[in-house]
């Protein structure tokens, strides 16, 4: 596989005159394939962008009604007509609606409270995508406030946009909080999308919509201009239909940013991640299976066993039943740390939005109370209230919990497990098949140990990277696995995931089943 940087820049002279009409196959084409079609003049960025806009109107807003896209960019076609250059030149990409774009689109985290005016400037992620030539196609629905409002929420529901559904089976959940990003890419509404994660919000929706999702090391991708939960755990990351596309998008958005101090070392590690797309990468790798995170859901366990067999067949050494020390202890204080940080971090973000009257978490709580009929018809805001009750970030209790969790999840957890058996990465089942939507009772999590917040928790709390990969389908629903490792180990994880992907190639276009048939 050639790195994107090696693809010859294409000339636009005469391309539009010879371009064919974009087809459904183009909607599901890889970035490399699209760039080659552009280079030959067979396809234009304007043609592909129009195809996605048409599909959003036909599939997302009518037809199956996925409800994944909150709004499309009114300037998308104008941008595409300029034939933007760069590693992602002319590639249409959707952004989760907690990522600022300094254009005519709103950035609201799905809340009606932030729909007065657009953000005044691009987030660093949006700016880097534009620099790489991407066409920012629109904003995706999510779990409101990235699932930080209520313990009884239904993933993928917002007051602004309603409920996003899973395109494979429409009465099933797309998981949260990047539900719209996952559902949109799975349904062929964009070439790729950006999600964000605090704990599971890229990994879970990517898994349940059959995608590759990369949750980067905290500090590799800037959070400036992204509506936050936690500066300890938040990060943006790519969601795509294959590893190569996810690696290409990560390459574009990674790097240091003066507005986010956590990224001070990012430029030392950010690279062209497509360089690690080696089909023989599994040979000689040592991968540990974390059985502590298995045994919860049988379909997920079967996908794990199939992956283990594939790894061995491709020359990897599999060390089974590796234990992450302190795993169950991680659940004790994670939510408390997030609540402390959310109260502080949301106020810091709101200070960057002079376009609207919200200034504090207390303002948001009051707004939800005033607009309860629109904002709280299904669930409340008990997490908002709990965060509001927390003290400041100088509270010794907060500092102690934060530092202890980081130490137990990282150096004494993932790093200790890797070092003990000289491992390159760890492997666990991802979530089981998507659960049924239930706005009355909220989410029904069917895989992952709830005592530690699911398979995403160790890497999320440590701030380490993880990547989920689809492996197979169970009852017409995708099921995958998660690889995770130490800080800055994205090259290794991408190489491993790519090696597995070459043998499974599990992505399948959705057929929008209304429900699962009872046989």
Closest CA to 129 of 98, 101, 109, 108: 101
Cα–Cα dist 1/295, whole Å = 36
Distance (Å, rounded) from C-alpha 463 to C-alpha 235?
9
Are 113 and 78 spatial neighbours (Cβ–Cβ below 8 Å)?
Answer: no
* Residue 61 falls in the annotated catalytic set: no
Candidate list 108, 123, 155, 177, residue with the active-site label: 177
Point out the catalytic residue in the list 96, 139, 285, 406: 96
- State the DSSP string of 398-437: HHHHHHHHHHHHIIIIIHHHHHHTT-SEEEEE---SPPBP
Closest C-alpha among 158, 145, 176, 184 to residue 65:
184
Q: b or e along 23-58 (b: 16 or more beta carbons within 10 Å of the residue's beta carbon)? A: eeebbbbbbbbbbbbbbebebbbbbbbbbbbebbee
Dist CA 79 CA 90 (whole Å): 8
CB atoms within 10 A of CB 159: 23
Is 312 in the active site? Answer: no
**Residue 423: HSE in the Cβ half-sphere, 13 Å Cα cutoff:** 28
Residues 37, 31: Cα–Cα separation, whole Å = 10
Q: Which residues pair with 236 in a beta bridge?
A: 196
Tokens for 200?
């599971």
Is residue 497 within 8 A of residue 236, CB to CB? The reply is no
Under 8 Å between Cβ of 489 and 464: yes
CB-side exposure of 78: number of CA atoms within 13 Å?
5
Decide if 177 is catalytic: yes
**Among 12, 18, 90, CA closest to 52:** 90
- Name the token pair of 314: 């491709």
Do the beta carbons of residue 497 and residue 483 sit within 8 Å? yes
C-alpha 147/C-alpha 155 separation (Å) is 7
Contact 30, 244 (CB under 8 A): yes
406 contact partners, CB below 8 Å, separation of at least 6: 232, 461, 462, 463
Q: Which three-class secondary structure state does DSSP give residue 238?
A: strand
Distance CA(71)–CA(63), nearest Å, equals 17
Alpha carbons within 13 A on the beta-carbon side of 204: 33
DSSP-based three-state secondary structure for 78: helix
Catalytic residue among 123, 143, 201, 489: 201
* Residues forming the active site: 96, 177, 201
């Amino acid at each position: 596989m050639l790195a994107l940087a090696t693809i010859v820049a294409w000339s636009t002279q005469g391309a539009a005159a010879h371009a064919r009409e974009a087809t459904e196959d183009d909607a599901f084409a890889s970035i490399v394939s699209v760039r080659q079609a552009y280079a030959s003049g067979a396809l234009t960025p304007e043609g592909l962008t129009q195809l996605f806009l048409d599909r959003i109107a036909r599939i997302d807003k009518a037809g199956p009604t996925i409800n994944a896209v909150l709004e499309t960019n009114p300037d998308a076609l104008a941008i595409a007509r300029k034939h933007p250059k760069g590693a992602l030149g002319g590639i249409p990409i959707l952004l989760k609606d907690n990522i600022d774009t300094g254009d005519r689109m709103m950035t609201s985290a799905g809340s009606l409270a932030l729909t007065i005016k657009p953000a005044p400037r691009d987030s660093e992620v949006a700016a880097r995508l534009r620099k790489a030539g991407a066409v920012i196609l629109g904003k995706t629905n999510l779990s409101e406030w990235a699932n930080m409002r209520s313990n009884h929420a239904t993933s993928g529901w917002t007051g602004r946009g309603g409920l996003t559904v899973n395109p494979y089976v429409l009465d099933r959940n797309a998981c949260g909080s990047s539900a719209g990003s996952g559902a949109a890419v799975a349904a062929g509404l964009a070439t790729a999308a950006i999600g964000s994660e605090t704990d599971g919000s890229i990994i879970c929706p990517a898994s349940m919509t059959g995608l590759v999702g990369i949750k980067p090391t905290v500090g590799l991708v800037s959070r400036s201009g992204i509506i936050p939960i936690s500066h300890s755990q938040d990060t943006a990351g790519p969601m795509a239909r294959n590893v190569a596309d996810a690696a290409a998008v990560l390459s574009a958005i990674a790097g240091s940013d003066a507005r986010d101090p956590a990224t001070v070392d990012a430029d030392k590690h950010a690279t062209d991640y497509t360089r690690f797309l080696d089909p023989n990468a599994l040979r000689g790798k040592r991968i540990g299976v974390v059985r502590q995170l298995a045994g919860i859901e049988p379909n997920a366990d079967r996908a794990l066993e199939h992956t283990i067999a594939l790894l061995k067949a491709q020359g990897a050494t599999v060390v089974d039943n590796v234990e992450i020390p302190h795993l169950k202890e991680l659940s004790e204080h994670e939510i408390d740390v997030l609540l402390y940080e959310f109260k502080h971090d949301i106020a810091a973000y709101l200070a960057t939005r002079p376009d609207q009257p919200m200034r504090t978490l207390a303002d948001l709580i009051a707004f939800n109370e005033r607009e309860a009929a629109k904002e709280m018809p299904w669930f409340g805001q008990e997490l908002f209230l709990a965060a509001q009750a927390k003290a400041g970030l100088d509270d010794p209790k907060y500092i102690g919990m934060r530092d202890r969790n980081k130490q137990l999840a990282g150096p004494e957890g993932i790093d200790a497990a890797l070092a003990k058996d000289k491992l390159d990465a760890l492997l666990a089942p991802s979530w089981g098949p998507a659960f049924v939507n239930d706005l009355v009772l909220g989410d029904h999590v069917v895989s992952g140990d709830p005592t530690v917040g699911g398979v995403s928790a160790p890497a999320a709390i440590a701030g380490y990277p993880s990547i989920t990969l689809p492996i197979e389908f169970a009852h017409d629903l995708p099921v995958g696995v998660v690889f995770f490792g130490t800080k800055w180990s994205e090259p290794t994880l991408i190489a491993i995931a790519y090696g597995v992907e070459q043998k499974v190639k599990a992505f399948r276009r959705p057929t929008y089943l209304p429900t699962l048939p009872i046989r």
